[in-house]
Chains A and B, each alone.
Chain A
């Protein structure tokens, strides 16, 4: 049996080698698709961001006198205005300080509350822990400003006009610090993000091997030492990751500070950016958006760094891994009581308050005669506008239709693009292309929604080259939403393709299936589940999304969230609350439906 005696190949020719590479690259459409997608994402993601950053450094139309430069020439005027001028304090520094105060406050509260709850759910024999494991995640399925509206319904005082809050109505006038500003914003964000801590910390606790704990105990370590020297250090990565995620989310949070901060001029970065856009200070808006992005990028980079560090001590859950539950004994009831109290405060009360407020004429009066269904289905109401109940208002149905079409189309597109991204990233033979696609689709994650919307406004507001001005169209909303959802869609697509591996497709290739046949007969049918998830999850988060729409939507393209915000602005409290309840119902129902369809626990995938 011999080694080969085949003729030695002719001397390598440079041309033939290139032809070989080209042939390999173009043998299948994967590379062509990858190139097209790279171009698409560059245009939908990179260009808008560059555009708003360039806005920050070039003279904007109408600012020629102030900047003493031509429109389009380079200037540091906006940087000066945002960071060093006499108005810098109001434009940037105060909002920055407020953002940090609110974010750190929310982090502190959600860590202490969520940490305890995560431990109770994951590692103790608390009553009803399974039920609480799902119930305590609900706040995250609802839009954050649902709670803001519930809060105003309860605590609104005479500082602003319109219907008073319930406490005001029964004669207990809440002080401003309780009704508006830092305190309520912090509490609401904390309650909204507590599920993050429960999910991240809880799953780390569940994976924690009891044997590590047992080993310390057998060596004679008391409980306190075990907790401080074994458990806590191993839990640190999960905790830090939750902290940074909450921080990044707080940075872009718009709805809650808009509803609760405005009456007392409590500005955060997101609302300051919104004001700058509202008052057509495009250059300053660019600076603010850039600043928000920068802080966001820093937070994510720290998170990524810590995650890398954390890999050094991954605890491998081997076969022997055990999750032993601590016995609470006489503390079982108080523990369950605590969890129940948090559930009531973060889910029960806000929803009940909102629901009741939509069926009451006068706030805070529980006389039977005060109850009505007029705000839902009434006609000829004695108001200036909104003369019918919300369900009879054509505006609601228009907004609902807009929501479903805009969010629906964007979600379907991003879901499909996500699976395609996953496919080409995993399969292309050209590595730099795969790396570019992976990173570019992740970029919107670093950019809070409100800054991303500002970037879209900056690029698409006016005609540029062959692309007409898109402001006021549904297309700009669809494109922005699609780009904004790409991080989740592409991550889902990539991980699904990684999990699938090459084998099933290669097996088809071996028996003679070409590219299109493999896609239609093997890859897509197998990935059906992840495609459905990849569409449903962005759809749910899109329905309750606000910050992207609030900048890009106009009355004709109102979605449910912006419609309800407009109603808040006009002080149609009952109608606004009703719309928010509808949104909350849709988001919750969608999540439950998605869980049924995919038979998974989506709460764990709701990182967006």
Chain B
């Protein structure tokens, strides 16, 4: 399947209502496993449906290889039934009146594939997804996880060039979800299909994707590998959306002691005119020392009070307060701290994410801080 290219895509549901998707440029390469990640209502499902052809554009263009599949300005539109893609719905949308086998071979029958070939293909796909023993059952007789696999099988049977998945795991319980994640990764490898996957679950995106497109309020925030997204968030939205417990953010403009200290510390290294608006450090990068002497000399530091230790099984979340402001740290070593204890929190310069007043990452700050370390 050739690359899918979205250029300057706009989508609005009627004049007056805010755009569901604005100025979206996205290039999905052949064989990629791309996650569209964002909170609900961010336009990710709309984007997926526009790629599938189930929604039309308000403006912009979608191309598949050389072919324009949707472009209001050129008056071009190719219907979803002719795009040769597969889409797995959040609700699975299995046809309740057809058996699993008929659900799966529906597309092949449409393509008038000869019977022998059709049966071989259906059996192959069913075996791969371990649903062959249910072939004569109806969807209502299957569990959620099994239905989910049928929905996948139905689309894989016609061997689509692109597989679009709309939050397909959100209706499964935690264990099944884990299994299906592995399954999807295996399918991606085995069938070599391009996969576009919509989710609001960051762990799902992190564990599955070869690249993640983070969206918010209809706009693309950042596109990159999972590590890029986590380690070098392009703006405050991405930094705060990805990661749990959430990233600690200090805003330089407030009068709070902690913020003032951070502001002062950064000014000393980046200069007064660097235009710093806020700085963040992830909970695992926030370290705790019982005395200031134990803090490395070049780290940012501040006195704090331990207010809570929450075990999460194998790791711990430590809640701290500085003058009423909450901070979170995580650790994989059993903490020896007690509630109410006075400690010093500190963070390495390289662990700092520095943003300007508009919330965009200050690109220059990373290098400067790295040199300082």
Contact = CB atoms under 8 A, between A and B. Distances in A.
A23 B74 CA distance: 12
B75 A508 contact: no
B77 A506 contact: no
B110 A20 contact: no
Contact of B52 (A510, A512, A526): A510
B204 interface: no
A42 to B, nearest CB: 25
A60 B60 CA distance: 61
A514 B81 contact: yes
B225 A511 contact: no
B71 interface: yes
Contacts of A510: 52, 54, 80-81, 85-87, 155
Contacts of B52: 510
A348 B97 CA distance: 43
Contacts of A23: 75, 77
A12 B61 CA distance: 12
A536 B97 CA distance: 22
A17 B73 CA distance: 6
A15 B75 CA distance: 8
B17 to A, nearest CB: 13
Interface residues of A, number: 40
B80 A506 contact: yes
A5 B29 CA distance: 13
B95 A508 contact: yes
A9 B77 contact: no
Interface residues of B, number: 51
A3 B79 CA distance: 25
Contact of B7 (A8, A504, A509, A525): A8
A506 B223 CA distance: 29
Contacts of B89: 503, 506-507
A526 B25 contact: no
A10 B61 CA distance: 10
A2 B158 contact: no
Contacts of A5: 27
B311 interface: no
A501 interface: yes
Contacts of A19: 75
Interface string B43-80: 00000000010101001110100000001111111011
A8 B63 CA distance: 12
Contact of B91 (A10, A503, A517): A503
Contacts of B106: 508, 511, 513, 521
Contact of A526 (B7, B56, B95, B158): B95
A4 interface: yes
Nearest to B92: A503
Contact of B73 (A2, A13, A526): A13
A2 B29 CA distance: 10
B100 to A, nearest CB: 14
B189 to A, nearest CB: 19
Contacts of A525: 97
A11 B72 CA distance: 11
Contacts of B5: 4, 6
A314 interface: no
A27 B77 contact: yes
Contacts of A528: 97
B26 interface: yes
B91 to A, nearest CB: 5
Contacts of B93: 501, 503-504, 506-507
Contacts of A16: 72-75
Interface in A6-34: 6-13, 15-17, 19-20, 23-24, 27
Contacts of A512: 81-82, 84, 107, 110-111, 158
Given A13-B73, A511-B86, A522 B95 contact: yes
B71 A9 contact: yes
A494 to B, nearest CB: 20
Nearest to A510: B87
B26 A27 contact: no
B223 to A, nearest CB: 5
Given A507-B95, A511-B86, A4 B75 contact: no
A368 interface: no
Contacts of B96: 504, 526
Nearest to A1: B211
Given A4-B27, A16-B72, A17-B73, A509 B81 contact: yes
B79 A6 contact: no
Given A4-B27, A20-B72, A509 B79 contact: yes
Contact of B61 (A6, A13, A504): A6
Contact of B72 (A2, A12, A508, A513): A12
B277 interface: no
A1 B35 CA distance: 13
A531 to B, nearest CB: 13
B75 A20 contact: yes
Contacts of A504: 93-96
B47 to A, nearest CB: 13
Given A3-B27, A503-B93, A510-B80, A9 B154 contact: no
Interface of B: 5-8, 25-27, 29, 52, 54, 56, 59-61, 63, 71-77, 79-82, 84-87, 89, 91-97, 106-107, 110-111, 151, 154-155, 158, 211, 220, 223-225
Given A2-B223, A511-B107, A526-B97, 12 more contacts: A6-B7, A6-B27, A12-B59, A17-B72, A20-B75, A501-B93, A502-B54, A503-B92, A507-B154, A512-B110, A514-B81, A517-B110
19 contacts: A1-B224, A6-B27, A6-B61, A8-B8, A9-B73, A16-B72, A16-B75, A20-B56, A23-B75, A504-B95, A506-B80, A506-B89, A507-B151, A508-B95, A509-B81, A510-B52, A510-B80, A511-B110, A521-B106
